């Protein structure tokens, strides 16, 4: 019997196929937190002094890019 992947493993599979992921320009980011709830897989976290994007979780959906009020987020090629 074939088992369907769970939501977490499905997100990981999609992320693995996406050639692009989000990246943050820390010189621009003011840590407003607006982008955090916009990220479907919750790949964005506020650290103690910076913003962290989990490259393994980011699916490259771009939902965080346009809403950033200071243009601190952009897409880049996955390393
Ligand atoms: S929306 Fe932009 S400025 Fe605000 S925390 Fe996210 S990246 Fe930083
Ligand atoms: S591109 Fe999508 S998955 Fe990646 S950090 Fe932005 S909202 Fe999250």
pLDDT of 8 over the 70 cut? no
Burial of residue 44 (CB within 10 Å: 0-12, 13-18, 19+) is: buried
pLDDT of 5 over the 70 cut? no
Domain extent listing, the chain = 20-77
Tokens of residue 67, six digits: 């809403």
Tokens of residue 49, six digits: 């002094």
Q: Which CATH class is domain 20-77?
A: alpha beta
Helix (H) or strand (E) holding 21: strand 20-24
Residue 63 Cβ contacting ligand 2 at under 6 Å: yes
pLDDT at 79: 82
Residue 24 Cβ contacting ligand 2 at under 6 Å: no
User: Any idea which ligand is nearest the CA of 24?
Assistant: 1
User: Any idea which ligand is nearest the CA of 68?
Assistant: 1
CA distance linking residue 14 with residue 26, whole number of Å: 26
CA distance linking residue 16 with residue 30, whole number of Å: 29
pLDDT at 6: 74
10-61 pLDDT, tens digit each = 666 666 668 999 999 999 999 999 999 999 999 999 999 999 999 999 999 9
């Amino acid at each position: 019997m074939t088992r369907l992947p769970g939501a977490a493993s499905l997100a990981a599979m999609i992320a693995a196929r996406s050639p692009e992921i989000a990246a943050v320009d820390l010189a621009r980011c003011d840590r407003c937190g607006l982008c955090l709830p916009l990220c479907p897989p919750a790949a964005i976290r506020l650290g103690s002094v910076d913003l962290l994007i989990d490259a393994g979780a980011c699916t490259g959906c771009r939902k965080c890019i346009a809403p950033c009020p200071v243009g601190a987020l952009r897409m880049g090629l996955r390393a």
